[in-house]
Structure 1
Amino acid sequence: MELFFLSLFLLPLSIALTFCFLIYKNKDHATDLNLPPGSYGWPIIGETLDFLGSGQNGTPESFVQDRMNKYSDQIFKTALLLEPTAVFCGPNGHKFLFSNENKLVVSSWPGSVRNLLQSSIINKLGDEAKQTRKLLMAFLKPEALQGYVRTMDAVTRRHMETEWESKREVTVFPLVKMYTFSLACCLFASIEDMDHISKLADLFNILLKGLVVLPLNFPGTTYYWANKAADAIRGELRAMVERRRTALGENTASPNQDLLSHLLVTADENGRFMPEKEVVDNILALFFGGHDTTNCAVAFLMKYLAEMPNIYYGILREQREIAASKGPKDHLDWEGIQKMKYSWNVANEVMRLAPPVQGNFRKSISDFTYAGSRVPKGWKFYWSVNSTHKNPNYFPDPEKFDPSRFEGDGPTPYTFVPFGGGPRMCPGKEYARLEILVFLHNVVKRFKWEAVFPDEKITVDPLPAPVKGLPVRLQPHLS
C-alpha cells in the first residue's frame, strides 16, 4: 500500500521534473556548448544514485575519480540532488572555490540540509555569515578552548571508567558516538542528565539519515522522519533557552557557562543579539557538527591503530611521556595537548584516508569561465576531498598509511581539506582537534585493542561508518 501511494506521488513529480530538466539542459546547449565535460545522467535523478551508491558501497572516491579519469581532472559536470552541478577537482579547484566565496560563489547546501538546519550558520551568506561566525568563533577559537581541556579530560575519564574499563570487548562506533554527543551536550549547553542526552541522541540519529537525500517530505520517507526529529530537537532546545534566560536573569547561571549562554548574552559588532530561533538552529547545527564528524574521525583512528601496532606504539610513547610529567590524578592541560605532534599527524593521516566529510556544495552568483569551460550563473558546485586525498600526484603511494606526510610544512596547500577552506572552513576545526586528542590520550594510556572483524566493510551514508560498528577486544595495560 505504501508503495502504491508513493507511486501516485512520484508519477506527476517525475513528469514535471523531467520537463523542467530537459528545458534547462536544452537551454544550456542552445546558449553555449562550452560547458564542462561530463554527463547529466538520467532525467530527474541525474547521477545522484551513483553518487550516493558509491558511498554505500564503501568506495566514495570512485564517483569523482572515475569521472576525473573519463572527462577532466580539473572540472566536470553532472546532476546531483535534482540540480546541474559542476565538480571542481584538485588543489586548483579547491583554491578557486575557497578563495572566491562571496565573489563568484556562495555556500549552498542541498535542499534537504538547508530545510533541516534552517536559520543556522550553514544558511547564512555574506555579512550575516561573517557576523554569525564571529559569535561562534569567540567560543570555538583555540584561546577559548584552552579553558575546556580539563572539562573534556574529566568527561573522558568518566566515560572510560563507566563504558570501557572491566570490559573485554566494546563496539567502538556507537560508544564513541554517544561519548562525543555527551561532550557536546556538556560543553555547548551544560546538559549532563544521561536520559536527556540519550533522548536527544536518538533524535539526532534520525535527523542525520535525512540530511543528504532527495527532499521528499511525505510519511514513510527518510526525509519526513528527519523533519519530525528536527522539530522535536528544536522543541527541546527552545525549552532549554527559556530556562537559561530565566537563570541568567536570576544570576543562577554564568554568561560564560557554555555556548548557549554565550549566544544569549553576546551582541555582534552592530549591537544585535541573536534571535531565539537562530540560537536554537545554531546549537542544533553545532550539536551535529560537534559530534558526528568527530565520532567518525575517532572511530577510524581506533580502526587504523588496531591494524598497525607500530603506529599505535608510537602514539603510546608520546602519550606516556605526557602522562609522566603529571601526577596520576592531574588532568590533561593545554600544554600537554601541544606536545601531541605525532598523535595529531596520525589523526590527520586517518582523516586523509577516511575523511569524515566527503565534500561540500557552493552555488555560482554570476557566469564565469574556469579551466576553459563556461559555468552558468545559478549552477551548483561540489568540491570533494576525493579528488586529492588519494591522488598519487599529491600523496605518493596514496593507500599507504604514512603520518610523516604531515611533518614540516605538510602536504601541498589545498590537497588536504577535511575541514574545507577559506571563509567557510569548519568553525569547529580546533574543537575537533582537541576532542580527538583528549580521547586518544585517555584510551591509549589504558588499552591496546584488536578488531573483531579486521576487514569490516565501511559505508558512507552520509558519513562513513563500519557496518558492524567496529567491535574490538580490549587488552588493558598491566602498568
Structure 2
Amino acid sequence: MEYLSASFLLPLVILCVSLTLVFRNYSYRSISPKLPLGRKGWPINIIGETMDYAMASKSGNPDKFITDRMSKYSSDVFRTSLLGENFAVFCGPSGNKFLFSSENKYVSAWWPRSLRETLHFPSDYSRKGERLDFLHEFLKPEALQDYIPIMDSMAKEHLHANWSPYKEVKVFPLSKKHTFGLACRLFLNIEDPEHVTTLENPFNLLAEGIISLPLNLPGTAFNRAVKAGKVIHEKVLAIIRQRKMELLENKGSAQVDLLNRMLLVTDEKGGGIEEEKEIAARITGLFIASRDTTSSAITFVLNYLAEFPHVYDEILKEQMRIAKSKGSDELLNWDHIRKMKYSWNVVRETMRLTPPCQGAFREVTADFTYAGFTIPKGWKTFSTVHSTHKNPKYFPDPEKFDPTRFEGKGPEPYTYLPFGGGPRMCSGKEYARLQILTFMHNAVIKFKFKKVNPSEKITYGLAPIPKNGLPVRLDPPEC
C-alpha cells in the first residue's frame, strides 16, 4: 500500500514541480527588461566587438560597423560590447537629441578605462571635475580673441620654417608639430623648441593607446600609453607647481596662458593637491585634442583643397580679400575671422566626411526606456557621427564634397556632430575653429597643393589619419 502511494504521488510531485518551474520561467521572461538587439561578441565583456570595430577603423570604414548593425538590429539603438563594457549605441538625430537632453537625468559623463588610466584621472574625476567647468569660459570666442594674433604669427613661422624650403611635404606630421607647439605656447607658455620636443615625444605613445583594449601587459599599446601618460602627468604637475610658486611671488601674473587662468581661479576656491591633478589631467586631454583631432581636421581640409581646385580657388579669393584689407605687418584679428564664412563651410564639410571625433561616451545612471527598449543602469552609451553624417536622408549625395550644404539654415538639428552636443559639447570647439582658420589663411595664400598619391588610404585611430601622412607638392598660388 505504501509502495502504491509513493508510485502514485511521485508523478504528481514531478508535475507540480515542473509547472512551478515553467510558471517561474514565464514570469521571469514576462518581467525581464527588453534589451536592445545586438551582440556582445566573444569573449563577453572582455573583447566583445572591440576587434571588429578596430578592424573597421583600420580599413577606413568605422561607419560600416555602425550602419551594418543599424540595418540588422535597429535604426534607433542597438547593443554591443566595446572596451570591456556593455554599450547601447544611439542612432539618428532622435537618439542624439535624447542623449544630449538626458544629461544628469539618465546619463552622466564617462570615459573609457584606457583613457582614464593613461591620462591619470583622479578616481572621482567625473564628479569633482565639475568644479573646473570654468574651463569652458576660457575657451569661448570672447576669451580666445586675444590669442588670434599669436595663432597667426605662429602659423607664419611654422610654414616659413617647415614648408617653404621644400617642394614636397607630409601634411599630417607637420600639422601635429604646429598644433602641439601652439598648445604649448597658449596652454603653458612654453616656447623653447627643445622643451616642446621633450614634452611631445611621450604624446606619440599616449595617442596610440589612449583608446585601446585596457590590457596592461608588456608590449601592448595600452601598456606603453600608461607609461607615457605617467611621464606626461609628472611633467605637467611639475610645471603647475612651479607656476604656483611664481604666482605666489608675483612673478607669473603677467602671463595670460590657460594654466595661469586656471590656477588663479582654483586658488580662489582653495585648490590643493587634488586640484593640481585634475588640472594636469584636463590640460593633458586638451593637448591630445588639439594635437590629434585638430591636426587631423587641418590635414583633411588641405586634402580636399588639393582634390577640388574650384573649392581652393574660392577660398583663395576669400583669404586674399582679407589679406589685402589689412596692413602687410598686421596680424589677423576677430573681425578677419568673422569674414572667413566660405572657408568655415569648407571646414565643416571636411569634418562631415572625415570627422575628427567619432562620437561621445556616457554612463547610464538610472534605468530608462528608449524606442521600446530598456537601457539598464551601469551600461554605457555611445552617440556616433556615423549614423547621420553620411546618411542621404539628411545629407543628399552624401559622398560629394559640397560646402554649400552649410549655407542658410544648414543641416537639420542633431545630424551634424563633429563636436558632440548638449551641455557637454566639446569645450575646445572655438579654439579648434580659430586654429584651423588661421592656419588655412596662411597656407592658402602661400601655397597651392597637389596630392602625391591621389588614392592614399585613410585609417581611423584617435582621429582619421592618411596612411602615408598625406604627401603633397607645393606650388605658388595663382593669385
Q: Is TM more than 0.5 here?
A: yes
**Equivalent residue letter for 2:249:** E
- Cα pair 1:255 1:265 within 8 Å, conserved: no
- Cα pair 1:85 1:380 within 8 Å, conserved: yes
- Cα pair 2:444 2:477 within 8 Å, conserved: no
- Quick one: distance in 2 between partners of 1:265 and 1:416? 36
- Quick one: distance in 2 between partners of 1:463 and 1:406? 23
Per-residue deviation, 1:377:
1.0
Per-residue deviation, 1:268:
8.5
Q: What's the RMSD between the two structures over aligned residues?
A: 1.9
Q: Where in structure 2 are there 5+ consecutive unaligned residues?
A: 1-27
Per-residue deviation, 1:251:
2.5
Distance 1:122 1:339, change over 3 A: farther
Residue by residue over 1:319-356, the C-alpha shift from the partner in whole angstroms, topping out at 9 and shown as x without a partner, is 00000101111111110000000000000000000001
- Cα pair 2:292 2:462 within 8 Å, conserved: no
Residue by residue over 1:435-465, the C-alpha shift from the partner in whole angstroms, topping out at 9 and shown as x without a partner, is 0000000000100010101110000113210
Provide the residue aligned with 2:358 in structure 1: 358
- Quick one: distance in 2 between partners of 1:440 and 1:97? 34
Per-residue deviation, 1:374:
1.1
Residue by residue over 1:93-145, the C-alpha shift from the partner in whole angstroms, topping out at 9 and shown as x without a partner, is 111111101100112121111222233799423xx4443122x1232111110
Name the % identity.
Answer: 51
Provide the residue aligned with 1:88 in structure 2: 90
- Cα pair 2:119 2:233 within 8 Å, conserved: no
Provide the residue aligned with 1:46 in structure 2: 48
- Cα pair 1:138 1:144 within 8 Å, conserved: yes
- Quick one: distance in 1 between partners of 2:308 and 2:372? 44
Per-residue deviation, 1:33:
5.4
Distance 1:286 1:407, change over 3 A: same
**Equivalent residue letter for 1:403:** P
Pair 1:159 & 2:129 matched: no
Residue by residue over 1:50-103, the C-alpha shift from the partner in whole angstroms, topping out at 9 and shown as x without a partner, is 111110011110000001111111111111111211110000111111110110
**Equivalent residue letter for 1:52:** A
- Quick one: distance in 1 between partners of 2:50 and 2:184? 34
- Quick one: distance in 2 between partners of 1:193 and 1:328? 27
Normalised to the residue count of structure 2, the TM-score between the two structures is: 0.90
Counterparts of residues 298-377 of structure 1 (less than 5 Å): 298-377=298-377
Provide the residue aligned with 2:256 in structure 1: 257
Counterparts of residues 81-230 of structure 1 (less than 5 Å): 81-119=83-121, 123-125=125-127, 128-134=128-134, 136-230=135-229
Q: Which moved more, 1:317-326 or 1:230-239?
A: 230-239
Normalised to the residue count of structure 1, the TM-score between the two structures is: 0.90
**Equivalent residue letter for 1:203:** P
- Cα pair 1:107 1:122 within 8 Å, conserved: no
Provide the residue aligned with 1:68 in structure 2: 70
Q: Where in structure 1 are there 5+ consecutive unaligned residues?
A: 1-27
- Structure number with larger C-alpha Rg: 2
- Quick one: distance in 2 between partners of 1:345 and 1:118? 37
- Quick one: distance in 1 between partners of 2:131 and 2:343? 34
- Quick one: distance in 2 between partners of 1:363 and 1:299? 32
- Cα pair 1:120 1:282 within 8 Å, conserved: no
- Cα pair 1:214 1:223 within 8 Å, conserved: yes
- Quick one: distance in 2 between partners of 1:124 and 1:248? 28
- Quick one: distance in 1 between partners of 2:319 and 2:88? 44
